[in-house]
Structure 1
Protein backbone atom coordinates (compact mmCIF):
# COMPACT_ATOMS: atom_id res chain seq x y z
CA UNK A 1 0.00 0.00 0.00
CA UNK A 2 1.29 3.45 -0.76
CA UNK A 3 1.79 6.00 2.00
CA UNK A 4 -0.85 8.34 0.61
CA UNK A 5 -4.06 8.62 2.57
CA UNK A 6 -6.83 7.53 0.15
CA UNK A 7 -9.27 9.74 2.01
CA UNK A 8 -7.50 12.92 0.98
CA UNK A 9 -6.57 12.21 -2.62
CA UNK A 10 -8.45 11.34 -5.77
CA UNK A 11 -6.95 9.17 -8.51
CA UNK A 12 -4.93 12.14 -9.80
CA UNK A 13 -3.33 12.79 -6.41
CA UNK A 14 -5.28 16.02 -5.91
CA UNK A 15 -6.66 16.70 -2.45
CA UNK A 16 -10.43 16.78 -2.17
CA UNK A 17 -13.08 17.38 0.47
CA UNK A 18 -15.69 14.68 0.51
CA UNK A 19 -19.08 14.96 2.19
CA UNK A 20 -21.44 12.20 3.29
CA UNK A 21 -25.04 13.31 3.74
CA UNK A 22 -27.20 11.13 5.99
CA UNK A 23 -30.84 12.12 5.91
CA UNK A 24 -33.96 10.97 7.74
CA UNK A 25 -37.04 11.86 5.76
CA UNK A 26 -40.24 10.96 7.53
CA UNK A 27 -42.31 10.85 4.35
CA UNK A 28 -43.80 7.50 3.39
CA UNK A 29 -42.86 7.88 -0.30
CA UNK A 30 -39.24 6.83 0.14
CA UNK A 31 -37.88 3.32 0.09
CA UNK A 32 -36.01 2.15 3.18
CA UNK A 33 -32.82 3.63 1.73
CA UNK A 34 -32.64 5.84 -1.33
CA UNK A 35 -30.05 7.96 -3.07
CA UNK A 36 -31.24 11.55 -3.15
CA UNK A 37 -31.73 13.31 -6.48
CA UNK A 38 -28.84 15.65 -7.27
CA UNK A 39 -30.89 18.81 -6.58
CA UNK A 40 -31.73 17.66 -3.03
CA UNK A 41 -28.20 16.76 -2.04
CA UNK A 42 -26.27 18.84 0.43
CA UNK A 43 -23.85 21.20 -1.20
CA UNK A 44 -20.81 19.19 -2.33
CA UNK A 45 -22.24 15.89 -1.02
CA UNK A 46 -20.38 12.97 -2.55
CA UNK A 47 -22.74 10.36 -1.20
CA UNK A 48 -26.22 10.56 0.29
CA UNK A 49 -28.04 7.95 2.34
CA UNK A 50 -31.71 8.39 3.22
CA UNK A 51 -33.62 6.53 5.92
CA UNK A 52 -37.40 6.71 6.30
CA UNK A 53 -37.36 6.78 10.12
CA UNK A 54 -34.97 7.64 12.90
CA UNK A 55 -35.32 4.02 14.07
CA UNK A 56 -33.90 2.84 10.72
CA UNK A 57 -31.02 5.28 11.12
CA UNK A 58 -30.33 3.97 14.63
CA UNK A 59 -30.36 0.37 13.35
CA UNK A 60 -27.39 1.20 11.12
CA UNK A 61 -25.57 3.83 13.18
CA UNK A 62 -25.65 2.06 16.54
CA UNK A 63 -23.44 3.38 19.36
CA UNK A 64 -20.79 0.64 18.79
CA UNK A 65 -20.72 1.43 15.06
CA UNK A 66 -20.43 5.13 15.77
CA UNK A 67 -17.43 4.29 17.99
CA UNK A 68 -15.86 2.71 14.92
CA UNK A 69 -16.56 5.85 12.87
CA UNK A 70 -15.06 8.06 15.61
CA UNK A 71 -11.99 5.79 15.84
CA UNK A 72 -11.52 6.05 12.08
CA UNK A 73 -11.75 9.83 12.31
CA UNK A 74 -9.03 9.75 14.99
CA UNK A 75 -6.83 7.40 12.94
CA UNK A 76 -7.15 9.63 9.84
CA UNK A 77 -5.86 6.73 7.71
CA UNK A 78 -6.70 3.09 7.04
CA UNK A 79 -6.25 0.97 10.17
CA UNK A 80 -6.07 -2.77 10.76
CA UNK A 81 -9.33 -4.29 12.01
CA UNK A 82 -7.38 -6.07 14.76
CA UNK A 83 -5.93 -2.77 15.97
CA UNK A 84 -9.35 -1.14 15.80
CA UNK A 85 -10.88 -3.99 17.84
CA UNK A 86 -8.12 -3.72 20.45
CA UNK A 87 -8.52 0.06 20.69
CA UNK A 88 -12.29 -0.31 21.16
CA UNK A 89 -11.95 -3.29 23.55
CA UNK A 90 -14.22 -5.39 21.31
CA UNK A 91 -13.87 -8.75 19.61
CA UNK A 92 -12.38 -8.82 16.13
CA UNK A 93 -15.44 -10.69 14.85
CA UNK A 94 -17.95 -8.09 16.07
CA UNK A 95 -15.84 -5.22 14.71
CA UNK A 96 -15.44 -7.04 11.38
CA UNK A 97 -19.24 -7.51 11.15
CA UNK A 98 -19.83 -3.82 11.88
CA UNK A 99 -17.14 -2.81 9.37
CA UNK A 100 -18.86 -4.94 6.72
CA UNK A 101 -22.26 -3.35 7.37
CA UNK A 102 -20.88 0.20 7.44
CA UNK A 103 -18.96 -0.48 4.24
CA UNK A 104 -22.03 -1.97 2.54
CA UNK A 105 -23.94 1.21 3.47
CA UNK A 106 -21.05 3.31 2.11
CA UNK A 107 -20.48 5.05 5.43
CA UNK A 108 -16.86 3.85 5.40
CA UNK A 109 -14.55 2.23 2.86
CA UNK A 110 -12.13 -0.68 3.12
CA UNK A 111 -8.79 -1.11 1.36
CA UNK A 112 -6.79 -4.31 1.05
CA UNK A 113 -3.12 -4.15 2.06
CA UNK A 114 -1.12 -7.36 1.58
CA UNK A 115 -4.31 -9.40 1.92
CA UNK A 116 -5.40 -7.61 5.10
CA UNK A 117 -8.46 -5.36 5.09
CA UNK A 118 -8.19 -1.86 6.56
CA UNK A 119 -11.24 0.38 6.99
CA UNK A 120 -11.09 4.15 6.71
CA UNK A 121 -13.48 7.09 6.62
CA UNK A 122 -13.37 8.59 3.12
CA UNK A 123 -15.16 11.78 4.10
CA UNK A 124 -14.03 15.06 5.58
CA UNK A 125 -17.53 15.85 6.75
CA UNK A 126 -20.62 13.84 7.66
CA UNK A 127 -23.83 15.87 7.60
CA UNK A 128 -26.96 14.47 9.27
CA UNK A 129 -30.34 16.01 8.42
CA UNK A 130 -33.68 15.04 9.93
CA UNK A 131 -36.74 16.39 8.14
CA UNK A 132 -39.80 16.63 10.35
CA UNK A 133 -43.09 17.36 8.62
CA UNK A 134 -44.77 20.39 10.13
CA UNK A 135 -48.48 19.93 10.77
CA UNK A 136 -50.39 23.19 11.09
CA UNK A 137 -53.54 23.19 13.17
Structure 2
Protein backbone atom coordinates (compact mmCIF):
# COMPACT_ATOMS: atom_id res chain seq x y z
CA UNK A 1 0.00 0.00 0.00
CA UNK A 2 1.18 3.48 -0.75
CA UNK A 3 -0.36 6.76 0.25
CA UNK A 4 -0.91 9.94 -1.73
CA UNK A 5 2.44 11.69 -2.13
CA UNK A 6 1.81 15.39 -1.76
CA UNK A 7 0.01 16.16 1.46
CA UNK A 8 -0.73 19.84 0.98
CA UNK A 9 -3.34 21.61 3.12
CA UNK A 10 -4.19 24.19 0.46
CA UNK A 11 -7.79 23.28 -0.14
CA UNK A 12 -7.19 20.33 -2.40
CA UNK A 13 -9.52 17.41 -2.70
CA UNK A 14 -8.52 13.80 -2.11
CA UNK A 15 -10.28 11.55 -4.61
CA UNK A 16 -10.96 7.99 -3.49
CA UNK A 17 -11.76 5.60 -6.33
CA UNK A 18 -12.92 2.04 -6.15
CA UNK A 19 -11.01 0.48 -8.99
CA UNK A 20 -9.92 -2.99 -9.99
CA UNK A 21 -6.43 -4.03 -11.05
CA UNK A 22 -7.50 -3.89 -14.72
CA UNK A 23 -8.35 -0.18 -14.35
CA UNK A 24 -4.90 0.50 -12.92
CA UNK A 25 -3.19 -1.45 -15.72
CA UNK A 26 -5.26 0.33 -18.38
CA UNK A 27 -4.49 3.76 -16.90
CA UNK A 28 -0.76 2.97 -16.71
CA UNK A 29 -0.79 1.59 -20.26
CA UNK A 30 -2.49 4.75 -21.58
CA UNK A 31 0.06 6.92 -19.78
CA UNK A 32 3.01 4.96 -21.18
CA UNK A 33 1.60 5.17 -24.71
CA UNK A 34 1.18 8.93 -24.39
CA UNK A 35 4.76 9.31 -23.12
CA UNK A 36 6.11 7.09 -25.94
CA UNK A 37 4.32 9.23 -28.52
CA UNK A 38 5.95 12.37 -27.09
CA UNK A 39 2.80 13.89 -25.58
CA UNK A 40 3.16 16.35 -22.73
CA UNK A 41 1.54 14.79 -19.67
CA UNK A 42 -0.16 17.04 -17.13
CA UNK A 43 0.01 15.60 -13.61
CA UNK A 44 -3.28 15.19 -11.78
CA UNK A 45 -3.92 18.31 -9.76
CA UNK A 46 -5.45 16.42 -6.85
CA UNK A 47 -4.20 13.20 -5.25
CA UNK A 48 -6.05 9.95 -5.96
CA UNK A 49 -6.29 7.01 -3.57
CA UNK A 50 -7.31 3.88 -5.48
CA UNK A 51 -9.00 1.25 -3.34
CA UNK A 52 -9.37 -2.17 -4.92
CA UNK A 53 -12.04 -3.68 -2.70
CA UNK A 54 -15.27 -2.74 -1.02
CA UNK A 55 -13.95 -4.32 2.18
CA UNK A 56 -11.03 -1.88 2.29
CA UNK A 57 -13.27 1.06 1.45
CA UNK A 58 -15.66 0.06 4.24
CA UNK A 59 -12.86 -0.42 6.76
CA UNK A 60 -11.18 2.90 6.00
CA UNK A 61 -14.46 4.86 5.97
CA UNK A 62 -16.10 3.15 8.93
CA UNK A 63 -18.09 5.32 11.31
CA UNK A 64 -15.37 5.62 13.98
CA UNK A 65 -12.83 6.86 11.41
CA UNK A 66 -15.26 9.35 9.88
CA UNK A 67 -16.08 10.59 13.38
CA UNK A 68 -12.37 11.25 13.97
CA UNK A 69 -11.95 13.10 10.66
CA UNK A 70 -14.99 15.23 11.47
CA UNK A 71 -13.73 15.98 14.99
CA UNK A 72 -10.33 17.02 13.62
CA UNK A 73 -12.05 19.43 11.22
CA UNK A 74 -14.38 20.80 13.87
CA UNK A 75 -12.09 21.03 16.91
CA UNK A 76 -8.60 21.37 15.36
CA UNK A 77 -7.13 19.49 18.35
CA UNK A 78 -3.62 20.24 19.55
CA UNK A 79 -2.89 16.59 20.35
CA UNK A 80 -4.17 13.04 20.12
CA UNK A 81 -5.29 13.29 23.75
CA UNK A 82 -7.34 16.42 23.00
CA UNK A 83 -8.96 14.61 20.07
CA UNK A 84 -9.68 11.57 22.24
CA UNK A 85 -11.43 13.83 24.76
CA UNK A 86 -13.46 15.46 21.97
CA UNK A 87 -14.80 12.07 20.80
CA UNK A 88 -14.98 10.54 24.30
CA UNK A 89 -12.66 7.64 23.52
CA UNK A 90 -9.34 6.41 24.87
CA UNK A 91 -6.14 7.96 23.46
CA UNK A 92 -4.62 4.57 22.58
CA UNK A 93 -7.67 3.53 20.54
CA UNK A 94 -7.84 6.93 18.84
CA UNK A 95 -4.13 6.78 17.99
CA UNK A 96 -4.58 3.33 16.39
CA UNK A 97 -7.38 4.69 14.19
CA UNK A 98 -5.37 7.81 13.35
CA UNK A 99 -2.35 5.73 12.34
CA UNK A 100 -4.56 3.78 9.95
CA UNK A 101 -6.01 6.99 8.52
CA UNK A 102 -2.50 8.40 8.15
CA UNK A 103 -1.38 5.23 6.33
CA UNK A 104 -4.11 5.87 3.76
CA UNK A 105 -3.24 9.57 3.51
CA UNK A 106 -6.58 10.77 4.90
CA UNK A 107 -4.96 12.78 7.71
CA UNK A 108 -1.47 13.70 8.89
CA UNK A 109 0.41 14.55 12.05
CA UNK A 110 2.42 17.64 12.86
CA UNK A 111 5.07 17.14 15.53
CA UNK A 112 4.68 19.71 18.31
CA UNK A 113 7.27 18.90 20.96
CA UNK A 114 6.19 15.60 22.49
CA UNK A 115 2.64 15.93 21.14
CA UNK A 116 1.46 14.85 17.72
CA UNK A 117 -1.16 17.24 16.37
CA UNK A 118 -3.58 15.54 13.94
CA UNK A 119 -4.71 17.65 10.98
CA UNK A 120 -6.55 17.23 7.71
CA UNK A 121 -4.44 17.84 4.61
CA UNK A 122 -7.53 18.21 2.40
CA UNK A 123 -10.66 20.28 2.59
CA UNK A 124 -12.79 17.53 1.14
CA UNK A 125 -12.78 13.89 0.14
CA UNK A 126 -14.55 12.80 -3.03
CA UNK A 127 -15.50 9.12 -3.38
CA UNK A 128 -15.97 7.71 -6.89
CA UNK A 129 -17.53 4.27 -7.36
CA UNK A 130 -18.23 3.14 -10.92
CA UNK A 131 -20.61 0.34 -11.76
CA UNK A 132 -20.39 -2.51 -12.37
CA UNK A 133 -18.17 -2.92 -9.34
CA UNK A 134 -14.66 -4.18 -10.10
CA UNK A 135 -14.12 -7.87 -9.47
CA UNK A 136 -10.78 -8.33 -7.78
CA UNK A 137 -9.08 -11.69 -8.14
CA UNK A 138 -9.26 -13.69 -4.93
CA UNK A 139 -10.73 -10.84 -2.91
CA UNK A 140 -7.54 -8.82 -3.30
CA UNK A 141 -7.56 -6.19 -0.58
CA UNK A 142 -4.92 -3.64 -1.54
CA UNK A 143 -4.60 0.05 -2.18
CA UNK A 144 -2.53 2.02 -4.67
CA UNK A 145 -2.27 5.74 -5.12
CA UNK A 146 -1.03 8.42 -7.42
CA UNK A 147 -0.58 12.03 -6.56
CA UNK A 148 0.54 15.21 -8.21
Same fold (TM over 0.5): yes
* Higher share in helix: 2
Residue number in structure 2 paired with 1:83: 82
Instruction: Tell me: higher relative CO, structure 1 or 2? Use CA pairs within 8 A at least 6 residues apart.
Output: 2
Q: Distance in 1 between matches of 2:15 and 2:103?
A: 16
Structure 2 contact 13–122 (Cα < 8 Å) conserved = yes
Residue number in structure 1 paired with 2:132: 133
How does 1:45-124 map onto structure 2 within 5 Å? Answer: 45=46, 47-75=47-75, 77=76, 79-124=78-123
Q: Distance in 1 between matches of 2:104 and 2:65?
A: 12
How does 1:8-47 map onto structure 2 within 5 Å? Answer: 8=9, 16-25=10-19, 27-29=20-22, 44-45=45-46, 47=47
- TM score, norm. by length of structure 2: 0.65
Structure 1 contact 20–123 (Cα < 8 Å) conserved = yes
CA change 1:115–1:21 in 2 (3 A) is same
CA change 1:105–1:121 in 2 (3 A) is same
Larger radius of gyration: 2
Q: When the two structures are aligned, how many residues end up with a matched partner?
A: 112
Q: Distance in 1 between matches of 2:11 and 2:52?
A: 27
Structure 2 portions without partners, runs of 5+? 1-6, 25-30, 32-40, 134-148
Say what the alpha-carbon RMSD is for the aligned residues.
Answer: 2.7
